[in-house]
Amino acid sequence: MATHEPLLNAGLAASLGNPSCVFVTGGPREYLPGINCVANQLQAVRSKHPLLVLVDAEEEAYMRQRVTHATVAAWRHFPVPQSGAFRKAEGWKYRARYAMDKLNLFGLPFPRAVWLDADVFVRTNVDELCELPPSVTLATTLNVGGKVRPTACWPHRTRCENRSCPREYDLENDAQRSYLLRRPSELQPPMERCPYIVQSGVMSLVPLPPPQFAARVVAPVGRGEVLSYDGGDQGAINTLLYDGRHAVWRDGLARLHPAYNVLARTQKHSARSMGGIPPKLVHYTRESRPWQHRIDPSDANGSEWLRACAASVCTAEDATAPDDAAAAATAAVPLSGVGKLARGGKRAGSRDASAVLKARMGLAAGWHEYCRSRRVP
């Protein structure tokens, strides 16, 4: 049977005091400002649970020196199958070796883990995600936009085979009323008829014991049996959830209220669609990540992150000494153009898109100017 050990340090849980739950985030060094923002905000809202930051082994020492209020540990990349189902589906998935790493979460040595993408902004205490009953083995939100209404169903990215599914979603019941989670028996329409895409940016999960992790996740993925609509871990998680051959979390699934994963670029519209219920976690996906482009303090989508977390960017090594070439590239490409390049549009190939994104990730011209004006050391 195929085996895969997610963590390099097998004694990590014991070294943390065997906590009942951990918050988890991570990513490459380019995500350091976002990672520190997650860590600082969890401390600011007085979370009582530890934060674990998972990084590449070759970047562990660098991140240990710079990550605050968290434990840094190295994990192994989840092996990416070479089958057609997992070829890169979109140009913006330029970091292919990271494409499947969230599947490692289901093999962690903790009773419960709450994953937060590094581009998630923690607005309020969400310790309740750590305190779900053990019977809830996977709790996440749907993949929705500003209207808080799902438009896609597994196994597709952009549509539902049952065309009535987007209309059948009960917006009033599922978004405009306050609650923590809903179990499958409470959902209308039933997920068997409308398997709406779930979002992996925020997840509360119960990891599997090592033999089950190997048999139910590692082995079928390795055999190429797990279709991924996006060539990455989110698509694979949806297949492991909905495909009857796997159905890893079918009995333990719960749907979180949309307030636990609100897209930053549409949060004004989302709040209106949720009947005024404020977001708890704001997700700055792709082109809206505040630390990856020149920030505008008047931008409502970025100003909250900026007020709380600008220092996490300004104290980063890359922000204080930007590369001249990266600065020039960042300044020369407008945000809208980068968005098109990053999504593999016709204006450039994936290599060009990768170069532009890496230049932006240098935090160069705009952030350097901002940090100097703020005189943050």
Computed over every residue of the chain, the mean pLDDT equals 81
Domain boundary among 254, 273, 292: 273
Residues 6+ positions from 39 with CB-CB distance below 8 Å: 25, 51, 53, 67, 68, 69, 70
Q: Are strands 113-116 and 138-142 parallel, antiparallel or unpaired?
A: unpaired
The answer to whether the CB of 42 falls within 8 A of the CB of 51 is: yes
CA 7 to chain centre: 19
Count Cα atoms within 13 angstroms, Cβ side, for 315: 12
Residue 295 lies in a domain: no
Instruction: Give me the residue label for tokens 């190429």.
Output: 224
Same domain membership, residue 269 and residue 306: no
* Token pair of 203 as six digits: 């997840």
Same domain membership, residue 332 and residue 197: no
Same domain membership, residue 261 and residue 340: no
Same domain membership, residue 306 and residue 267: no
pLDDT in tens, 119-171: 999 999 999 999 999 999 999 999 987 778 899 999 988 899 999 999 999 88
User: Torsions phi, psi of 108, nearest 5?
Assistant: -70, 150
Domain boundary among 257, 273, 289: 273
Residues 161, 68: Cα–Cα separation, whole Å: 46
Residues 332, 39: Cα–Cα separation, whole Å: 32
Same domain membership, residue 313 and residue 190: no
Residue 352's pLDDT is 41
pLDDT in tens, 214-243: 999 999 998 888 988 888 899 999 999 999
Residue 290 lies in a domain: no
The answer to whether the CB of 209 falls within 8 A of the CB of 288 is: no
Q: Taking Cα atoms as reference points, which of 155, 261, 111, 280 lies closest to residue 200?
A: 261
What domain range includes position 183? 12-273
- Total residues found in the chain within this entry: 377
Residue 57 lies in a domain: yes
CA 272 to each of CA 129, 171, 242, 255, 370: distance values in angstroms, whole numbers, following the listed order? 24, 12, 30, 20, 32
pTM (predicted TM-score) = 0.84
Q: Using the Cα atoms of residue 335, residue 337, residue 338 and residue 342 in order, give the sign of their dihedral.
A: positive
Same domain membership, residue 320 and residue 248: no
pLDDT in tens, 174-220: 889 999 999 988 988 999 999 999 999 999 999 999 999 999 999 99
pLDDT in tens, 256-301: 999 999 988 888 778 788 888 999 999 998 777 887 765 566 666 6
Q: Taking Cα atoms as reference points, which of 87, 111, 134, 149 lies closest to residue 21?
A: 111
Burial of 80 (0-12, 13-18, 19+ CB in 10 A): buried
Same domain membership, residue 308 and residue 266: no
Mean pLDDT value of segment 33-43: 95
Domain of residue 179, CATH code: 3.90.550
Same domain membership, residue 261 and residue 127: yes
Residues 136, 112: Cα–Cα separation, whole Å: 10
